[in-house]
Amino acid sequence: MIGKKTIYLDYAAATPLDREVLVAMQPYFTDYFYNPSATYAAAREVHAALEAARASIAHWLGARGSEITLTAGGTEANNLAIHGVMRQYPEANIVVSAIEHESVLVPAGRYDCRQVNVTSDGLIDLEDLARKIDEQTVMVSVMYANNEIGTVQPVREVTRIIAAKKATRRAEEAVSRQPSAVSPPTTSGQRTASSEQRPASPLPLIFHSDACQAANYLDMHVARLGVDMLTLNGGKLYGPKQSGALYVKAGVRLQPLIDGGGQERGLRSGTENVAAAIGCATALDKAQTLRHEETRRLQALQQQFLELLEQKIPQAVINGSRRHRLPNNIHLTMPGYDNERLLIQLDELGIQAAAGSACSASDQEPSHVLRALGLSEAEARASLRFTMGRATTADMIKNTVSKLTQLIVS
């Protein structure tokens, strides 16, 4: 149980529900419990509130409400994006970065999936990405910010590569559709071979980005990012768990995961969780309103943490890019130490941290993210993740490094 002396540094795994979010949600558990699909006036009011929440999410993404599909969290949104596209093109392939969240890697792995290498700093290898995208690639998924090491990916550069690939496909299609210079003579009622074998339309090339860790600190405008689909997770935004959304650009077609009454424009049947949608929208609104101020504050705490580490534990190795990094993330390797034991000891001292993604905490294998960076199995098993949040203070950072130093030098 969280007590007064506990220092929580695992905000990448879960954020506490913001009190303003709770207040916004509460009426929809009790007084406004109606099914938004019902026809009477009270239900129509609930439906209007649901659509207002959708419009609020769309606002921060620079999108239209019709492009927002409400989901039960980031994992569902990622699965809807990947399966929704790939089931339509079973012979095509999908290209993903090697450090994606499991909710991207696992569904992508059910198809012809090509993984793109990353640098030792955890940034996607853009040249390898360009090589991996071929004429049979229908989808690319590259996360906006990594959940373990906090690296912020060059999404706009990925967009440029995809745009160039699309342009090449269009040019090749135009050439293939041109009539031959010399057409064989035909008699009445006959068709030429070229008219019988029209070239098939080129495959789409859809860009999806998992932005679950990004929305507290980064610009989410989909047009500036250049994405076709974007995943949000309310549980990482000081909103309710099992809330989220998938932005789907107009014109992108998906197959639904859940069939039924046709809610969410047929993409997610089932009675809508109005309270969760309002909570997610309220949380995103507050996060994006505060993001510049909170980024500056956390960057100062991050720098404090790193400076104290260099002074007191110089053998600690920082993983991931220092420049292209979320402001709340410190991920380090303690050579020669076991992270599981360190986490237990830190917990006993009132410090709550993590070894990596909470979604794969039961997996005994070393982090696939760290292995993709080139770390050995021993180094991966000696790594810790500290992620800060709105309640984190300078005194907490000082206390954390002090407690960690006690464990290392004792």
332 close to 322: Cβ distance less than 8 angstroms:
no
Name the amino acid, one letter, at 93: N
Instruction: Determine the Cα–Cα distance for residues 329 and 357; give it in Å rounded to an integer.
Output: 13
**Partners of residue 383 on adjacent β-strands:** 333
Q: Which two tokens stand for residue 410?
A: 């004792």
Mind telling me the catalytic residues? 359
Distance CA 168, CA 253 (A): 22
- CA distance readout (Å), 244 to 54, 190, 229: 11, 57, 13
User: How many Å is the Cα radius of gyration of the chain?
Assistant: 24
Q: What is the DSSP letter of 332?
A: E
SS3 sequence, 55-74?
Answer: HHHHHHHCCCHHHEEEECCH
Q: Which residue has the tokens 């980064």?
A: 218
Phi-psi domain of 94 (left: phi exceeds 0; alpha: psi -120 through 50; beta: other): beta
